[in-house]
Amino acid sequence: MNNERLYQVILGPHISEKANIIAETQNQVVFKVRTDATKLEIKKAVEKLLGVQVQAVNTVLVKGKNKGFGRTPGRRSDFKKAYITLPAGTEVQLADVAE
């Protein structure tokens, strides 16, 4: 895999209430990733960028919502989330990952 590609796979951390609960209880972190990224690319990118061992990668393709912007109808973009499972006792500072 190309090193340039690994740096482009992770777009940033996904910060939400559910992501914080999962981080505390199940030792997982959530990232927004490119929609064409594979699980193997995501795993290698996290291991290279954060320097941690990854146990598992689960992905979810989130479909964009139809929203109105005033009188103009619009649509939010689709995006992909990756749930990264880390070994017990491993902590990652999400401030280290630029969004």
- What is the per-residue pLDDT for 33? 97
- What is the per-residue pLDDT for 92? 75
pLDDT in tens, the chain (99 residues): 788 888 899 999 999 999 999 988 999 999 999 999 999 999 999 999 988 999 999 999 999 999 988 899 999 999 999 999 999 888 777 665 554
Q: Alpha-carbon Rg of the chain, whole angstroms?
A: 15
Nearest in space to 45 (alpha carbons), one of 36, 95, 54, 64: 54
In sequence order, the 6+-apart residues with CB closer than 8 A to the CB of 28 are 22, 83, 84, 85, 86
The predicted model scores a pTM of: 0.86
- Domains of the chain and CATH, by start: 3-87 (3.30.70.330)
